[in-house]
Amino acid sequence: MACSATAKILQPLSIRSAEKSQSCSKMLSPSSFLGSTPLPKKLFSVNKTISPLARRSATIVAVSSDVVKEKKLKSTQNLLITKEEGLVLYEDMYLGRAFEDMCAQMYYRGKMFGFVHLYNGQEAVSTGFIKLLKKEDCVVSTYRDHVHALSKGVPARQVMSELFGKTTGCCRGQGGSMHMFSKEHNVLGGFAFIGEGIPVATGAAFTSKYKREVFKEDCDEVTLAFFGDGTCNNGQFFECLNMATLWKLPIVFVVENNLWAIGMSHLRSTSDPQIWKKGPAFGMPGVHVDGMDVLKVREVAKEAVSRARRGEGPTLVECETYRFRGHSLADPDELRDPAEKAHYATRDPITALKKYVIENKLASEAELKAIEKKIDEEVEEAVEFADKSPVPERSQLLENVFADPKGFGIGPDGKYRCEDPKFTQGTAQV
Amino acid sequence: MAAMLQSIGVASASVTFSNHTNKLTSSSVHSLPVIRSEARTISGAINGSRKTGKVITKAVAAQAESPASAASKPGHELLLFEALREGLEEEMDRDPRVCVFGEDVGHYGGSYKVTKGLAEKYGDLRVLDTPIAENSFTGMAVGAAMTGLRPIVEGMNMGFLLLAFNQISDNCGMLHYTSGGQFTIPTVIRGPGGVGRQLGAEHSQRLESYFQSIPGIQMVACSTPYNAKGLMKAAIRSENPVVLFEHVLLYNLKERIPDEEYVLSLEEAEMVRPGEHVTILTYSRMRYHVMQAAKTLVNKGYDPEVIDIRSLKPFDLYTIGNSIKKTHRVLIVEECMRTGGIGASLTAAINENFHDYLDAQIVCLSSQDVPTPYAGTLEEWTVVQPPQIVAAVEQLCK
């Protein structure tokens, strides 16, 4: 099991060759939580290089810092989470899983269509990061955004309605699976093209800085941008890393590296597969963390988010994670090695957290079962709600194209088209 | 040539004043006081008693106004890029959420000096010098707009915004809709475009045709200092994403504009010269070629009605329609490419809506479908020139 987070802070002009390999190779049992000891802040300044030739394979090559190795030998009395936090994390991850499983069922029953990308297996990243945020903080995601929206607080019934294409959906049925937006919960989407959302997240972080420096408000809002390994070869990613560091924007770039971009293996498409190293190239810390372990993700997230809140600038966090299902519900998922899938199945973040909570006597099995039951009911109820909701009327077609509908222009009769009664019926000529 | 452009600019600018209050639409912005510094009524007389010839002399740069006469005239004189800056500055004063992103807009003052002095006044964050990453900083503008700011994106040359097409089309245009109306994107995307003086193919692009299909954006083109300032202010105040097309060769046009604040309507066209025989629809720099041709036409006895459509998307079918109902003949003169350009869309829209009023087929004069060559002679033949306009009108009015 990959352990710990390795991080570097390089001064932007330092010349550091990454040839020397000082890593330790360990195969640790899947369920041991090395992160059960608090990771010190110093972790972010540990300088360790690992060979650029190290490849992730079924045998996990782990990198650990000496600091964490020492801590491991001490007693594990200090737990990372309280009971309340543990239950919140468990509930959120279970919600994500139950919801996505229900999506698959509904899709195959013909209730939703198009491209639906499920998040099974990656819940630790969403829960680990988003549960640390305030309501005013912003989250930007890609097409695999259902669970990010749920973690941020968008009610399950609104997300399910959106997937069914009903007016009660969070985007009135106009967005769909890949475009989850919520102004109330500051979910800024939901983008179909990868990389497209990263500049939007950078802009939201810019607004936060603007509020602080131009409006002189006490603003410490942070933005999180989630995206995958495939996106890290895209120009917009690098352009935004540059601008975020340049202006010290309060943003955290979270890479959900699940090794596969549809059928393209990360190792086949990337010259240097270690994405966390791209952070220091632009002057920001790059951190690598085990994304199947919600507690480790949470520790790293705490530091990255508070760095941003303090105004120290952006962080790049690479979460090593895995999706249990195909890229989308239309993906037959034939290219991935069954052994790889089996290996990661044993590292299921929900089972791992459950084990941790029970072993450390934070909660009983019965309490967890009660949460599961509650969530199952919530998801069932969301489906019922979505089923019963109305489909959009024709009059909704032309609404929301423009914030100011005068943008449709002036018709031959001299009136603005939006004043035409046919407009509200959706049958106007525009 | 520059002087002539300048003169035509003022001539047409003076004419435009006479028609601002003739609109019947519900928007009342144009009922703000309009200063008629050179009010000339262009009568319908066909036979030669033209006064327009006299107007040109005023604009010749060499002629200095005596301080007394300058002080007595209302309004103030400035160049088009200064008018844009004035509009921008007024809006930035009025609303602290307005900010500018672009390459060299801050310390350098903008490649055409539209943002000169603003960084010193408002700070580096409000007038942000960006690295050369159009797609990303346009996306940043979208993100900033979604979270409450009102950014203006300057493309150093409009052609560079092709690199930002992803963000302009997918995010600027679509996010208000795909978010179910939750987020507004009140951005303005502006910059100099059009065919300049031997700038080469890539710096001489007309992006209006590429952007026009994007649902959710509005496009306007300015052509005089008066409408440049008015449209800039309207675009900034609009809740919709607006693309404001400026032209490289028009930045030094001089005109006297009102001292009072005014905002123009983004959806309306401008009547440049009323007439009876033929409707000529144009925008941006071609307005000046048309007005130059109009002089020749008038001497030959024709009476063209010239409309600067200004709003490229959506079209102001009311002004255009009224004109067609009067003249029954349409000539479109544009700098866009022939294929899929603004003229092509306008032809389709007119045919659909006003077919019964046409006495002749619509004639559309556009640039050749050619990457703008460097050589001066070739470049001249790429765009529409006044003699071609004259010939087309003569053909149309046979």
Q: Where are the domains of chain A?
A: 60-66+77-388, 396-430
If one looks up domain A60-66+77-388 in CATH, what number appears? 3.40.50.970
* Pairwise CA distance, residues B264 & B237, whole Å: 11
A408 contact residues in B (CB cutoff 8 A): 314
How do strand B270-273 and strand B304-308 relate by DSSP bridges? Answer: antiparallel
Average pLDDT over residues A220-228: 96
Which residue from A183, A208, A406 is facing B267, i.e. has the nearest CB? Answer: A406
pLDDT at B398: 85
How do strand B254-257 and strand B76-79 relate by DSSP bridges? Answer: antiparallel
Those of residues 355-394 in A touching chain B at CB distance below 8 A are none
* Pairwise CA distance, residues B281 & A93, whole Å: 61
CB pairs under 8 A between A and B: 200
* Pairwise CA distance, residues A13 & B335, whole Å: 48
How do strand B330-337 and strand B278-282 relate by DSSP bridges? Answer: parallel
Query: How many alpha carbons fall within 13 Å on the CB side of residue A210?
Result: 28
| Predicted confidence (pLDDT) per residue in A247-263, tens digit | 999 999 999 999 999 98
The answer, for A31 touching chain B at a CB cutoff of 8 Å, is no
pLDDT at B161: 94
Contact B312, B212 (CB under 8 A): yes
Which residue from B25, B140, B180 is facing A202, i.e. has the nearest CB? Answer: B140
Inspect the interface and report whether the beta carbons of B143 and A210 lie closer than 8 Å.
no
* Pairwise CA distance, residues B123 & A383, whole Å: 51
Query: What DSSP string describes B38-70?
Result: T--------SS---HHHHHHHH-TT-PPPHHHH
* Pairwise CA distance, residues B290 & A127, whole Å: 63
- Shortest Cα–Cα distance, A112 to chain B (Å): 17
Is A32's pLDDT higher than 50?
no
The answer, for A175 touching chain B at a CB cutoff of 8 Å, is yes
The answer, for A414 touching chain B at a CB cutoff of 8 Å, is yes
- For chain B, the farthest-separated pair of C-alpha atoms sits apart, in whole angstroms, at 60
Inspect the interface and report whether the beta carbons of B267 and A236 lie closer than 8 Å.
no
> Which of these, B137, B135, B151, lies nearest to B184 by C-alpha position?
B151
CA A308 from centroid of its chain's CA atoms? 17
Q: What is the DSSP letter of B168?
A: I
The answer, for A230 touching chain B at a CB cutoff of 8 Å, is no
Region of residue B270 (phi > 0: left; psi between -120 and 50: alpha; otherwise: beta): beta
Inspect the interface and report whether the beta carbons of B314 and A170 lie closer than 8 Å.
no
**Helix, strand counts (H, E) of chain A:** 14, 10
How many of the other CB atoms lie within 10 Å of CB of A214?
A: 17
**What residues in chain B have per-residue pLDDT under 70?**
1-72
Q: Which residue carries 């570097």 as its tokens?
A: A8
Q: Which residue carries 């407009």 as its tokens?
A: A423
How do strand B270-273 and strand B254-257 relate by DSSP bridges? Answer: unpaired
Which residues contact residue A13 at a Cβ distance below 8 angstroms, ignoring those fewer than 6 apart?
A: none
Q: Which residue carries 């990061």 as its tokens?
A: A129
Q: Buried (b) or exposed (e) across B275-296, using 16+ Cβ within 10 A?
A: bebbbbbbbbbbbbbbbbbbbe
Inspect the interface and report whether the beta carbons of A236 and B135 lie closer than 8 Å.
yes
Is A332's pLDDT higher than 90?
no
Inspect the interface and report whether the beta carbons of B96 and A215 lie closer than 8 Å.
yes
Beta strands in A273-409 (DSSP E): 286-290, 315-320
Length, in residues, of chain A: 430
Inspect the interface and report whether the beta carbons of A213 and B125 lie closer than 8 Å.
yes
- Shortest Cα–Cα distance, B25 to chain A (Å): 6
- Shortest Cα–Cα distance, A248 to chain B (Å): 12
B319 contact residues in A (CB cutoff 8 A): 410
- For chain A, the farthest-separated pair of C-alpha atoms sits apart, in whole angstroms, at 82
Contact B106, B115 (CB under 8 A): yes
Q: Which residue carries 């190239």 as its tokens?
A: A281
Those of residues 64-123 in A touching chain B at CB distance below 8 A are none
Which residue from A176, A203, A403 is facing B240, i.e. has the nearest CB? Answer: A403
Residue A51, burial from CB neighbour count under 10 angstroms (0-12, 13-18, 19+): middle
Contact B30, B264 (CB under 8 A): yes
The residue among A206, A209, A222, A246 with the most chain B CBs within 10 A of its CB, best to mutate, is A206
Q: Which has more confidence, A202 or A414?
A: A202
Q: What is the DSSP letter of A385?
A: H
* Pairwise CA distance, residues A88 & A182, whole Å: 21
Inspect the interface and report whether the beta carbons of B123 and A191 lie closer than 8 Å.
no
At residue A177, what are phi and psi to the nearest 5 degrees? -60, -35
At residue B152, what are phi and psi to the nearest 5 degrees? -115, 125
Record the tokens describing residue B165, joined without a space.
């097409």
Which residue from A183, A401, A407 is facing B183, i.e. has the nearest CB? Answer: A183
Q: What is the DSSP letter of A419?
A: G
pLDDT-based confidence at residue A189 (cuts at 50, 70, 90): confident
A213 to chain B: nearest residue by CA?
B125
Average pLDDT over residues A67-75: 40
| Predicted confidence (pLDDT) per residue in A172-184, tens digit | 999 999 999 999 9
At residue B279, what are phi and psi to the nearest 5 degrees? -95, 120
Inspect the interface and report whether the beta carbons of A138 and B25 lie closer than 8 Å.
no
